[in-house]
Amino acid sequence: EAGVAQSPRYKIIEKRQSVAFWCNPISGHATLYWYQQILGQGPKLLIQFQNNGVVDDSQLPKDRFSAERLKGVDSTLKIQPAKLEDSAVYLCASSLGMGGEAFFGQGTRLTVV
Amino acid sequence: SQKIEQNSEALNIQEGKTATLTCNYTNYSPAYLQWYRQDPGRGPVFLLLIRENEKEKRKERLKVTFDTTLKQSLFHITASQPADSATYLCALETYGQNFVFGPGTRLSVLP
């Protein structure tokens, strides 16, 4: 079974530039999550999708971050414009639904300089 | 406000001993509590899930307890090995389907 795929693996951008991350979840998984993990901290939930609808985006900085899940499968997370404090690992995860284990991708390490 | 705390940032134990990690939460009503392992440079990997009406779950050398009155979960690794060294994260899933993680505890098992 293929795991959660994320790209790119690493990205370095200057502040005020824009960046996009892509995630392909495990086939059949209805729930998709994007997390931000700053070094030394636990993952912070940015947005959660159930199929292509948003379940929770309460911690997504909507003035600069946006996310979509096309046809309930792949998802993209965009930051525009980036700030220095956005430097973190962005993790995508998917699960069958409530009570199911979450499978994580390897993450995208973003450095904003 | 809602909060998830894990006992300490780092825990060092001797090989062969039992490691006990704590997860405490406030202002959540979790339907499920999960434990994950995270190695440097990698995403978290699922270990165990326990439901709100369960007291204890075991899997090989791992044991999880869940006390909804104390709002606490304990995660035990018995006969610990250096290969168990990693960061361990607890995660709560509520009926509102929020899936949130604690800050993690970095465990080092010393040979």
For residue B96, is pLDDT > 90?
no
The band of B97, judged by pLDDT with boundaries at 50, 70 and 90, is confident
Q: In A, which residues are within 8 Å of B43 by CB distance?
A: 4, 91, 93, 104-107
- C-alpha distance from B12 to closest chain A C-alpha (Å): 17
The mean pLDDT of B9-13, rounded to a whole number, is 91
The mean pLDDT of A75-82, rounded to a whole number, is 97
Q: What is the mean pLDDT of chain B?
A: 94
Q: Which of B46, B51, B104 sits opposite A102 (nearest CB)?
A: B46
The band of B95, judged by pLDDT with boundaries at 50, 70 and 90, is confident
Q: What is the pLDDT of residues A36-70, one digit of tens each?
A: 999 989 999 999 999 889 999 999 999 999 999 98
> Best interface-test mutation with A: which of B35, B99, B105 has the largest number of A CBs within 10 A?
B99
Coil vs helix vs strand at A37: strand
B99, A104: Cβ pair inside 8 Å?
no
Distance CA A31, CA A49 (A): 6
A14 vs B94, more confident: A14
Coil vs helix vs strand at A85: helix
Distance CA A52, CA B101 (A): 23
For residue A97, is pLDDT > 80?
yes
ω before B103 within 30° of 0 (cis)?
no
